[in-house]
Amino acid sequence: MTSQADQQRASQLVSRLAAEGPMRISRFMQIAASDPEFGYYSQPGRIGKSGDFITAPEISPLFGEMLAALLIHLWELSGKPADALVFEAGPGSGQLMADMRRVFDRLAPPLHTAPLWMLEASPALRDQQASHLNGADLHYTDQIEALPGRPLFGAANEFFDALGVDQAIFQAGDWHHRLIGLADGQFAFLPGAALSAAEKQAFDCARHRNAKEGMIAEYSPAGAHFITRLARHIAHYGGAFLIIDYGGSALTGSSLQAVQAHEKVDFLSHAGTADLTFLVDFARLGKVARAEGARLVGPVEQGAFLTQLGITRRAEQLASTADAKTRHSLRAAIDRLTSPAWMGSLFKVALLIPPGEGLPPGFADTATQTGTGPEK
Ligand code: SAH
């Protein structure tokens, strides 16, 4: 159920989208998510049990603890740079950073006092983050290029899947843009112009050698933009950045999805009232990272990653001194984060670092490295 105020905002958003005429899917998704007045994230309370979807940091503080422990390890390995900055993209309620900062405070005070930079489109969420992160040396930027040239340690959880994706469809022997526009007063997918040679390259159409009529390829321009700049920063100044997202590698077909009140709903008719997402293609992120001189380790499944980092042991340790109810909710939270029936397999974790050898904790055994070695 959505409130009346939500419905009103959504209908204003729909008018705004309709007025633009047929547009790329990523643009539709970006406006639906981030329009400062009517966009989905212009209202707090979207994320969490009472919202539309629940994210890992909202399930348990142990998620942030594990990420922080790994970042501290990598910060130590890189010689504990005193000028490091901490960075998060798409921080939502600010919960993840609050959990990580508690660990920094205990185990790596220079990361706790380091400048904290965030990239966040929603003014409402910025307010929520600032009050959650009271005491931090907090800064915002819209562009990675504007970050100070220092080693960067941080994370993005469920950020790339919110950035929007474009689709191309194979029709009559060629690839065409797939757009969203109005048909009979309703949003519909509409065929657009044929892709240029450069666009075919961006969509990596060559990967679909035996394309059949109606086949769909995806490409996230904002995702490519973001990973390019971040990889460049890390290749240049050092650091480590964790990317956790709903995704896979070398994906084919449409992965568009809309989620409202924890249920899947129709993608085209819920702009502004549902979370619109797609599956992040980690192989593509790795390719970009490599082109910029950085290394993307992974992806590995979230369940394997958290288990290797010791989340189960940590939960048992906490459970040993807790009452029965807390023990039960701890176990339920760990199950949600790690079990393949919940988030354990669908969510993937990758680590962006400067070039080098070896696999950090969390990535041993199961890791496939997509950011090293010559292009195959
Ligand atoms: N990381 C949080 C929130 C995930 S939701 C968590 O795990 O709970 C996605 C987040 O990305 C929100 O904070 C949203 O406002 C932000 N976001 C989406 N598109 C964005 C864009 N283009 N630029 C900056 N932030 C964006």
For residue 51, the model assigns a pLDDT of: 82
Report CA(92)–ligand 1 centroid distance (Å): 6
**Tens of pLDDT along 304-350?**
999 999 999 999 999 999 999 999 999 999 999 999 999 999 999 99
Alpha carbon 1 to chain centroid, angstroms = 26
The mean pLDDT values, 10 residues at a time, for the chain of 376 residues are: 78 90 95 89 82 91 98 97 97 96 98 98 92 95 97 97 95 96 92 96 90 95 97 98 92 92 93 93 95 97 97 94 93 96 95 93 67 35
Atom of ligand 1 nearest to the CA of 157: 1
Query: With contact defined as beta carbons under 8 Å apart, do 125 and 41 qualify?
Result: yes
- Among 52, 141, 159, 275, name the best residue to mutate to test ligand 1's pocket (greatest count of ligand atoms within 8 A of Cβ): 159
- Show the tokens assigned to 256: 């568009």
The domain segmentation of the chain, as residue ranges, is 56-163+221-353, 166-219
**How many residues appear in the chain?**
376
Residue 366's pLDDT is: 53
Give 258's strand partners: 265, 276
pLDDT value at residue 41:
87
**Residue 370's pLDDT is what?**
47
Q: Is the CB of 163 under 6 A from ligand 1?
A: yes
Q: Is the CB of 179 under 6 A from ligand 1?
A: no
What is the second-level CATH architecture of the domain 56-163+221-353?
A: 3-Layer(aba) Sandwich (3.40)
**Where are the alpha helices (H) located in the chain, listed in sequence order?**
4-19, 25-34, 56-59, 61-77, 95-107, 109-113, 123-132, 197-202, 221-237, 282-291, 302-308, 311-319, 324-338
DSSP 8-state code for residue 40: G
Query: Which residue is it, tokens 């969203």?
Result: 180
